[in-house]
C-alpha cells in the first residue's frame, strides 16, 4: 500500500505516522487563538516535530460544528507565511487543511505537499484538477452536510455502508479527474455529520472502509464524542481517550493519525506496535 506526493512517499511504513494539528484560527474547538500568530505557530510546529510528528497539518479555517466560513484571501493570509517558514527549515510533510482550490494552490506553491479536504474534494469544483496537476497527496474525507449545520440531525440508513460507498465513488471520480491512485488517502470524518453511535460504528468497522489498497487517516483527537463517553470532559482533557482510540485503530491497520498531543499519542502507538509485533524491537 503506497501513499505518495510529488515530494515524498508516506507509505508503506513499518510504524504508525502522526500528523500534528496546527490551527491558525481564532475559533477552533480545542486550541482556537493559541497559535494565530506566526511565531507562536512556528514554535508549536517545531515542538510537534521534536515530539515525532512526520506531517504538520496547517489550517486557516475552523471546521468545528457551527463554524462560520472564512474568505479565501483571509485563509491564504493566515497559512501561507507559516508554510513558507516551516518549509525553509524542515523537509517533512506539510499538509494544507482546506476546501478551497485557491488556498490549496497558494499553499502548494509555498511548500505544502498534501491537500487535506474535509469535503472529499467536492466543495470546490476546481480542486480535483488542481491536485492532479500538482501531483500532491490528497486526504479525501467524508462529511455529511456543512460545518455550520452538520451536527444538527445527522441521519444514515447504514453509516458504515454509506461511508464505504462514498469512498469508492470518490476514488473512481478522482481517478477520472487525473488524481493518481497512489496519491489518495481516506478519512472517515469522525464527528463530521455523525452522532455518537455513528462514530462508534465507524470505528468498530474501521478496517473495512477504505477502497482496496488505500490507506486511512484517522482524526479523533479531542473530539466531542470522547467527551460524551466520559461525562462531558472538556477538549484538553480528552488526550488519553484519544490515545486509546488511535491504538485500537492501529491494531486494525490504520497507519496515519491526526492529533493534537503528538508525544502522548506517538508513545502510546509505539507501545501498541511492540505488543502487536510481540517484540521490543523499534522499527
Q: Among 106, 92, 161, which residue's Cα sits nearest to residue 134?
A: 106
In this structure, the strands spanning 256-259 and 17-23 are parallel
Beta bridge partners of 164: none
Who's near 203: CB < 8 A, 6+ residues apart? 190, 220, 245, 248, 249
Residue 194 designated active-site: no
User: Rounded CA gap, 271 and 45, in Å?
Assistant: 24
From 164, 223, 238, 250, the catalytic residue? 223
Cα angle, residue 33 at apex, residues 185 and 23 outer, rounded to 5°: 10
Residue 223 designated active-site: yes
Cα angle, residue 104 at apex, residues 101 and 107 outer, rounded to 5°: 150
Who's near 123: CB < 8 A, 6+ residues apart? 99, 100, 117
For residue 58, the SS3 value is strand
Matching residue, cell 453509516: 159
Lookup: cell for 157: 440508513
Lookup: cell for 167: 469512498
Q: Among 193, 209, 188, 185, which residue's Cα sits nearest to residue 156?
A: 193
From 164, 222, 238, 258, the catalytic residue? 258
Active site residues: 223, 258
Amino acid at each position: 500500500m503506497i501513499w505518495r506526493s510529488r515530494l515524498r512517499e508516506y507509505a508503506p511504513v513499518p510504524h504508525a505516522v502522526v500528523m500534528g494539528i496546527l490551527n491558525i484560527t481564532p475559533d477552533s474547538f480545542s486550541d482556537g487563538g493559541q497559535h494565530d500568530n506566526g511565531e507562536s505557530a512556528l514554535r508549536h510546529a517545531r515542538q510537534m516535530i521534536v515530539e515525532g510528528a512526520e506531517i504538520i497539518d496547517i489550517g486557516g479555517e475552523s471546521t468545528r460544528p457551527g463554524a462560520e466560513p472564512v474568505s479565501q484571501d483571509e485563509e491564504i493570509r493566515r497559512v501561507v507565511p507559516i508554510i513558507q517558514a516551516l518549509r525553509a527549515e524542515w523537509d517533512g510533510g506539510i499538509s494544507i487543511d482546506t476546501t478551497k482550490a485557491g488556498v490549496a494552490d497558494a499553499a502548494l506553491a509555498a511548500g505544502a505537499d498534501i491537500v487535506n479536504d474535509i469535503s472529499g474534494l467536492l466543495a470546490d469544483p476546481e480542486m480535483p484538477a488542481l491536485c492532479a496537476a500538482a501531483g500532491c497527496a490528497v486526504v479525501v474525507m467524508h462529511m455529511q452536510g456543512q460545518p455550520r449545520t452538520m451536527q444538527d440531525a445527522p441521519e444514515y440508513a447504514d453509516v458504515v455502508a454509506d461511508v464505504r460507498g462514498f469512498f469508492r465513488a470518490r476514488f473512481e471520480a478522482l481517478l477520472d479527474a487525473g488524481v493518481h491512485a497512489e496519491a489518495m488517502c481516506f478519512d472517515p470524518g469522525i464527528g463530521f455529520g455523525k452522532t455518537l453511535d455513528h462514530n462508534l460504528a465507524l470505528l468498530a468497522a474501521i478496517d473495512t472502509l477504505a477502497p482496496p489498497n488505500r490507506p486511512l487517516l484517522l482524526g479523533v483527537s479531542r473530539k466531542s464524542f470522547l467527551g460524551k463517553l466520559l461525562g462531558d470532559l472538556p477538549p484538553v482533557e480528552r488526550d488519553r481517550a484519544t490515545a486509546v482510540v488511535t491504538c485500537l485503530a492501529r491494531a486494525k491497520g490504520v497507519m496515519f493519525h491526526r492529533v493534537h498531543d503528538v508525544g502522548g499519542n506517538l508513545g502510546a502507538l509505539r507501545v501498541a506496535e511492540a505488543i502487536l509485533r510481540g517484540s521490543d524491537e523499534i522499527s
